[in-house]
Amino acid sequence: MYDLLGVLKADTAFFYIDADEEMPLAEDFVKKAKSLGAIPAYAYLGDVGDSVTGDKKAQKFEDDFLPDLIREIKAIGIETVAYMPTRNTPAQLQRLAKLCAENGMFEISGEDVNSPRQKFACAALALPEYAHLIDSTWSLIGHEAISTEKGIDAGMFSEKTKAELPCIKDRVKKYSAIGRQTV
C-alpha cells in the first residue's frame, strides 16, 4: 500500500486540483489557529536539485525568494518554520536557520514517516547542528501541557507569554523544561 502511495506521490498532476474559493486567506487561518492556542507553522520544502533522499525530482519551490517569504509569513503572524534535515541540503538549512534567527522564528522538525520501511528514528537529529530541534519538540510538548492545564493564555505564543519572554530562545528553554517534566 505504501509503495502505491509512493507511485501516486511521484506524479500528482493527474489528480491534483489547485485550491480556489475554499482556501481561507492566510491571515484568517492564522487568526483562527491562534484563537485555539494552535501554533501555525510554515512547512519549508526547499528547491530540489539533486535529491538528498534520492526520491525527489528536480523542482523549484521557495529558495529564490526565501528572505521575502520569511518576512511575509512573520508579518501575517506565522512565527514557526518546520523543516526536514533529511530532505534538504546542509547549505539550504544553514541559510534557513540564519533567516529564522534574524527574524526570531521558532524552528521545528518537520520530519515524518511515510513508509513502514523507513526508520522511525531520524539520524540527522543526532547531529549537533540540529540539536535545537530536540529542544523545540520538548517545548511543543510543554506548550500543549501547560495550555491544557492553564488555558491558551499560558501557551508559548500567547501575547502574555511573548510580553514576558520576547526572545524565542527563552520561550523554548522555558517550555522545553515544562515538556520534559511531563515524562
Contacts of 146 (CB under 8 A, 6+ apart): 154, 155, 175, 178
CB 133 within 8 A of CB 108: yes
Sequence ranges of the domains in the chain? 2-181
Quote the DSSP letter at residue 152. Answer: G
**Grid cell at residue 86:** 533529511
Closest listed residue to residue 11, CA positions, set 57, 60, 44: 57
Amino acid at site 74: K
Taking the chain, what is the end-to-end CA distance rounded to the nearest angstrom?
A: 34
pLDDT at 10: 73
Q: Please, which pLDDT band fits residue 54 given cuts at 50, 70 and 90? A: low
CA 49 vs. chain centroid, Å, equals 21
| R_g of the chain, CA atoms, integer Å | 18
Instruction: Say how far apart CA 66 and CA 172 lie, in whole Å.
Output: 24
- pLDDT higher than 80, residue 126: yes
pLDDT at 118: 65
- pLDDT higher than 60, residue 52: no
Among 44-48, 50-54, 78-82, 99-103, the minimum mean pLDDT is found in 50-54
Stated pTM of the model: 0.86
Mean pLDDT of 95-109: 97
| % of the chain with per-residue pLDDT over 70 | 91
Evaluated on CA atoms 61, 65, 67, 72, the torsion sign reads negative
CB 168 within 8 A of CB 141: no
Per the prediction, the chain carries an average pLDDT of: 90
Q: Please, which pLDDT band fits residue 55 given cuts at 50, 70 and 90? A: low
